[in-house]
Structures are given as structure tokens and as C-alpha cells.
Structure 1
Amino acid sequence: MALTGCQTKNSSSGNGGGNGGGTGSASGGGGPAAGKIVIMVGGAAKVIYMPAKLTEQLGYFKDEGLNVELQDTPAGVTAETQLLAGQAQGVVGFYDHTIDIQAKDSSKCLESVVQFANVPGEVEVVSKKNQGTIKSPSDFKGKKLGVTSQGSSTDFLTQYLAGKGGVSTSQYTTVKAGADATFIGALTSGGIDAGMTTDPTVARLTKTGQGSVLLDMRTAAGTQKALGGLYPASSLYMSCDWVNANKPTVQKLANAFVKTLKFINSNSADTIASKMPADYAGGDKQLYVKAINDSKGMFTGDGVMDEGGAKNVLTVLGSFSGNVKPKKDQIDLSKTYTTEFVKAAK
């Protein structure tokens, strides 16, 4: 399945008229272009980040008078770097990056302003060859485990699951397997024995029998079983300074994204798929519809962060992360997300 949508810059059809277009870098300085809002997406074709492109496709950015440019990047950690460098005003990625960055440097502040999902939407998939030998994370010892990239949220979750199973990071090999076709190639060629990925990659691997689901974090029940509670993940996060300096624009972004979340919750997977770019289906529309249907339940209907879930993310990261563990008690969760804008959304 060649899922190549958003591989290059994708500008919305909005013209940024009026005072809707915010400017400025992540720290509030001069932005890439006057009136343009650049949002990095940590894998635009992934269903977990579907609200970004779907909002553009539905014209909701334009309705708010916003000029938004979505830029695809293969991994969330790369998107975070771009944001901190002032190359973007927002990131559609995992909420856990906001906690990780505070632990690394307390002078830096990132916050989720719209929470798309309170579960990861990630799946640990085992290759056909290893289905009989990897039956739980305790079997990760000596295995090659695929993640999007080192330092990514899939890497965080893999470390936690392995540790919970009694396997240290030195007892397995972390492999940068990317996503989509790259991940599939790594799993089927033996480059990895198992790995963490999302739909629609999961749908393809299970359809062909090349992979089977070991841990399913697309649902609240599956997430609680794997991680001990909810784990808010897919979100729009931004620099706290930029948010404070551009509140009217952030409100318009929240309006657009909350409208999209309501659309997802009130429409069928088939209807949603029909609104997405045709190439996202990779030549198999029905499989793409299945992928959306298998994951759409993860999305919130209002963009509001689950407070207990946010605490659980800190608990998970604080159990293994070299950055977070020694500073767990110093992390101020109130600086990592806000519900101000989604609660005021139209």
C-alpha cells in the first residue's frame, strides 16, 4: 500500500484573510511567511493524525479565515525539532513530547491545545515468522523491535512495555523502521521481529497475514491493559509562548479541529474516507475504510484532554525515561496542555 499523501508541502485553500492568520516562530518571533501557519504532521497518512488533513479537506481552516500549510515529516521527534527551531507554529503529534521537553529543559514549554485522542492508536505487530515465539513483551529479549525512530513516541512506548515485561533496553535491539511501506518491508524481510505501528499499516499486515496484533492500543480497554490507564496521544501541540501571543488564531484552530472531531464521531468510516485524498487509500479503498473504522473510536468528540490520562502519561514516562524519571516530581502538567480553547470552541 503506497501511502504517499502529504509527502510534500500541502497548503490549504484558505487565503488567510482578515486577522485569522497568525504569524511568528515557535517563540513568537518572525514566522515563515506573513499570515501563514505551518503545522508539522508526524506522518500525515497515519489514521491517528487524520484530523489534520481531514480538516483541510473539509475546508474548516478556510472557514475560520486561516492560511494553514501542513508539512509531513516521518517522525514526531523531527516535528518537535522543527517547532522548537521556529520552522513551524504547531505540531500534530503525540502529547508525551510536551512532558519530555519540559524534563529536558524547563525553560522550554510546549502544550497540547487540542487533544485528538486519549489513547495512542498504536499496535504492536509481530511478524509471521515470530508469531509463535513473541506472545508478550516478556518475549522481547533478544529481538529486533521496530519504532518510527529513536526518541519517538513509539520508542517511548516500546521501552515501557519491554520494561514492564522484565526486559531492559539493552536486551533488545531498537530498529528505526519508519512507517507505512518502510515498516512493512522491515517486518516482512526480517529486519525487525516485531514493531509498533498504526493504521492503515496494521490493516494491510493483518489482511495479508504478514503480521499479527500482539498489543492493541486503539481502544481504551486495550490501552488500559497495556499501559495501566489512558494515554492521551495524538494532539495539536504548540509553543506556550506562541499560544499566549496568538490566542485569537489558536482559538480559530481549535474551532476548526473540534468541528472535524465532531465530523469523525458523527460519520461512517466510508464517508470519512471519501473526504480524504484518494492516494491515502493506496489503491485499496475498502482496506482504507477498514483501517479508519478500526481506529476512529479513538478520537475525542470535543478535543478535551483527559486529566487522569495526562497523569498516566507522566507515570509511564517516569518509570523508564532517562529524561523524565529523575525529574518526575518536578514536572508541572498544567504547563503541558490547556483546555481553554477547545472548551470555547464553536
Structure 2
Amino acid sequence: MNRIVLNRRTFASAAALAVAGVAAPSVLAQGKPEKSKVAIAVGGKAAFYYLPLTIAEQLGYFKAEGLDVEISDFAGGAKALQALIGGSADVVSGAYEHTINMQSKNQFIQSIVLMGRAPQISVGVSTKTVPNYKTLADLRGKKIGVSAPGSSTNMVANLLLSRAGVKANEVSYVGVGTSAGALSALRSGQIDAMSNTDPVMTMLEQKGEVKIVSDTRTLKGTQDVFGGPMPAACFYTHVDFVQKNPNTCQALANAIVHSLKWLQTAGPSDIIKTVPEGYLLGDRALYLASFNKVREAIATDGVLPDEGARTALRALASFDPAIKPEKINLAKTYTNEFARRAKEKFKA
């Protein structure tokens, strides 16, 4: 992070603001959202990866913040990102690492609140089409299912395969989504392995249809794969949008942190009652087993750790030569100012 140097004038201004904040808290009260109608793009909304978004929507937390949100669901995170870049979405509920990827292409987008503190992505090899699997190198020449090419599921697969000496062009990536389509793609033999999120991966794992070979559904598994904390789902948007719509961004962060607070104490029956029936993929027990596996991966307060941003940059640079760490300004890829205010508001 960049160091901030205070001269006398800025120090005096900061001191005056601090005093004003103590004397009159209403000065810092949140204003009305500049943009009350917000278009949100997401890639695979039914996945646990985006559960905080679903909770905020289902429990009316966006409305409580004065927002009328329209959520468009795409096959994967890369498609949701395209919606933002193309102008059909204001904000994306997606993987933090897209902020780094886009900065390497001179497009500045920024995370405003964190939903996931671990990627929740696991890689499984089909026990039917690759029965004699031993190492990741065995996947050379195989078809690997991902939510969508260019998404975070693709990133994790690239990272793992590169460590095994397998280049991205030595496998075929197939977009299969994150729900029923992903299940059928593996079961029908269209793909030999899959990098995906829950509940899909737990369902395949429990039925013995895949052998899990890498797992970031837990904090320990994430540490093992990435060597540090790895931020996952977040709300990100153009830096210009953040600057022009601070109250809207605060309202969005409030809604998400409110849902993170709810999730800290929610029981299995609370989850089942709240999420749409279609998300259960026809098996409540397996859905809840999946939730228990990923629960600790859900963020608690919306704040993105500085070390997590550094981990993400290291991971991306390790297999993508287009990303030069020395040219990435991590401080511009995220802000915690909205999450910190929301954390204080909801005591998250």
C-alpha cells in the first residue's frame, strides 16, 4: 500500500474532520444513494460463492438501503465482467482478481466490499474418464470444465496445472456453468475434470464421481494452494463509478455486510428457508453438507486484507506473463472505506 505523507495543511484538515466527527456524528451520516437503480451482474448466482448477494436480495437488505437492484445472472465471472465493461451493468458480484487482470490492461476497476475470504473452488478429476489418475500432469490433453473461460475457476485450474508443468494450451477448457449443466457435463463424459464451486463439487464428491485434487473451500486449503489469504467474491465496479456515487457504494456495502452479519449466526434451516428452491439442485441434505464445507470461506465483515491483495497478485503473475507485479498499483484495486463504515454500523 502507498504511504500517505501529511503536510501541515492536510494534517490540520484531518484533525478538524476528526473533531467534527466526534462533536457532530451526523456530519458523517450517510446520504441518499446518487443512483437508486443499480444493475448488478453475477456469474453463477446459485453458487455458495455468491451466497451473501442472494441473502441481501432475499432478505430485503438492498431495499432497506434505498436501492432497487436488478441482478443479471451469467454463466461465469468473465461474462459478468464483460457486462460491466460493455456498460450493461453498474457493478459486478465477482472475483477480486479481475481488478488486477483489468489493471494490467489499463482499465481500472475496484472492489468496494468483500464477500468471500477464500475462493471456495475445488478441482476434481472424473473417476469414470480418468480412473488411473495419479498427478495433475495426467490431465495434459484432457477437457477441463470451468464455470466460463477466463473466470476464477479457470484461473485456479491454470495455476495448479502450471505448477505441474502443464501449459494452458495443453488442455481444453469447456464452459459448463455452476449448477445443473456442470453436473451433467461431467456425468456424461463431456469433460474429464472440473474446477468449480459448491454445491456442485460436493455433490459430485459425495457420490464418488470425482476425486478432489485441490480444495480452496477452507482457509487451510486456501493457504496450501496460494501461500496466503486469497480474497474471492466481492462487489467491484469502475473507479469512476465509485468516485461519482459514494453513497450508492456505501449502500451496496451496507447491504452485503448486513448479510455477512446474518450469515455468522444463521442455521441450516435459516439458509434453506431463504435461498430459492432451485439452488438446492434437488437435494437439501447435500446442499447443507456443501454449506458446512464452505462456511468459513465466507467473509465476516466485508474488509479485504492487504495481504490478500498481495497473494492474489503473486498467484496471477505466477502463470500469466502479461501481469507484471511492479506495474500493478494494488491500492487502486480495492477500497475498504465503505466496508469499514458498514462494519461499524452493523457491528460485524
User: Normalised by the shorter chain, which TM-score bucket?
Assistant: 0.7 to 0.9
Q: Matches of 1:134 and 1:90 in 2, distance apart?
A: 41
Counterpart of 1:342 in structure 2 is: 339
Which residue pairs with 2:119 in the alignment?
120
Secondary structure of the residue aligned to 1:300 is: coil
The aligned residue for residue 94 of structure 1 is 95
Q: What is the alpha-carbon distance in structure 1 between the residues aligned to residue 32 and residue 53 of structure 2? A: 18
Partner residue in 2 for 1:157: 156
What letter matches 2:63 in structure 1?
A: K
| TM-score normalised over the length of structure 2 | 0.86
Cα displacement string for residues 102-153 of structure 1 (whole angstroms, at most 9, x for unaligned residues): 101x2x2111111111211001011122564334423322322111222111
CA–CA distance in structure 1, aligned partners of residues 333 and 272 of structure 2 = 32
Change (3 A) 1:271 1:301: same
Q: Is the 8 A contact 1:21 1:37 kept in 2?
A: no
Displacement of 1:173 in angstroms is 2.2
Verify: 1:179 aligned to 2:147, yes or no. Answer: no
- Counterparts of 1:157-306 in structure 2, within 5 Å, are 157-306=156-305
- The 2-side partners of 1:254 and 1:283 are apart by 32
Q: What is the distance in 2 between the residues matched to 1:165 and 1:254? A: 39
5+ residue gaps, structure 2: 1-29
Q: How many residue pairs end up in the alignment? A: 314
Q: Bigger CA drift: 222-231 or 94-103? A: 222-231
Q: From the two aligned structures, give the one with the greater helix fraction.
A: 2
User: Is the counterpart of residue 53 in structure 1 residue 50 in structure 2?
Assistant: no
**1:119-138 matches, cutoff 5 A:** 119-130=118-129, 132-138=131-137
Structure 1 contact 269–290 (Cα < 8 Å) conserved: no
Distance in 2 of aligned mates of 1:103 and 1:213: 32
**One-letter amino acid of the counterpart of residue 75, structure 1:** G
Q: Residue 97 of structure 1 aligns to a residue in which SS?
A: helix
**Take 1:235 and 1:65, find their aligned partners in 2: how far apart are those partners?**
20
Tell me the residue number matched to 2:16. none
Cα pair 1:135 1:214 within 8 Å, conserved: no
**Deviation for aligned residue 1:260:** 0.5
Please give the per-residue CA displacement for 1:59-95, whole angstroms capped at 9, x wherever unaligned. Answer: 1111111111111111111111111122111100100
Using the alignment, how far apart are the partners of 2:132 and 2:306 within structure 1?
Answer: 37
Query: 1:173-194: per-residue Cα shift (whole Å, max 9, x none)?
Result: 2222322122112212221111
Following TM superposition, by how much is the alpha carbon of 1:232 offset from its aligned partner in structure 2, in angstroms?
0.8
Q: What is the SS of the residue equivalent to 1:91?
A: strand
Q: Which amino acid in the other structure matches residue 337 of structure 1?
A: Y
Question: Aligned to 1:125, what secondary structure does the other structure show?
Answer: strand
Amino acid at match of 2:266: N
Q: 1:273 to 1:88 in 2, by over 3 A?
A: same
Matched residues in 2 for 1:221 and 1:134: separation? Answer: 24
SS at match of 2:111: strand
| Structure 2 residue identity aligned to 1:113 | I
Deviations 1:280-321 (A, max 9, x none): 213322222222222121011101112111101111111111
Which position in structure 1 is the counterpart of 2:327?
330
The yes-or-no answer on 1:41 pairing with 2:42 is yes
User: Are residues 1:76 and 2:77 paired?
Assistant: yes
1:322 deviates by 4.0
- What do the CA deviations read for 1:155-201 (whole angstroms, capped 9, x no partner)? 12111110111212232222223221221122122211111011111
Where does residue 110 of structure 1 map in the other structure? Answer: 109
Between the aligned partners of 2:38 and 2:288, the Cα distance in structure 1 is: 30
Q: Distance in 2 between matches of 1:131 and 1:217?
A: 22
> Normalized against structure 1, the TM-score is what?
0.86
Q: 1:131 and 1:22, CA in 2 relative to 1: closer, same or farther beyond 3 A? A: farther
Paired residue secondary structure (1:344) = helix
Kept after mapping to 2: 8 A contact 1:21/1:36: no
Deviations 1:23-76 (A, max 9, x none): 3xxxxxxxxxxx310111111101111111110111111111111111111111
Matched with 1:9 is none
SS in 1 for 2:251: helix
Paired AA for residue 311 in structure 2: N
Between the aligned partners of 1:184 and 1:161, the Cα distance in structure 2 is 22
Please provide the CA RMSD for this pair.
Answer: 1.7
In structure 2, give the amino acid aligned to 1:55.
Answer: A
Cα pair 1:156 1:321 within 8 Å, conserved: no
**What displacement does 1:19 show?**
6.8
Deviates more, 1:78-87 or 1:92-101: 78-87
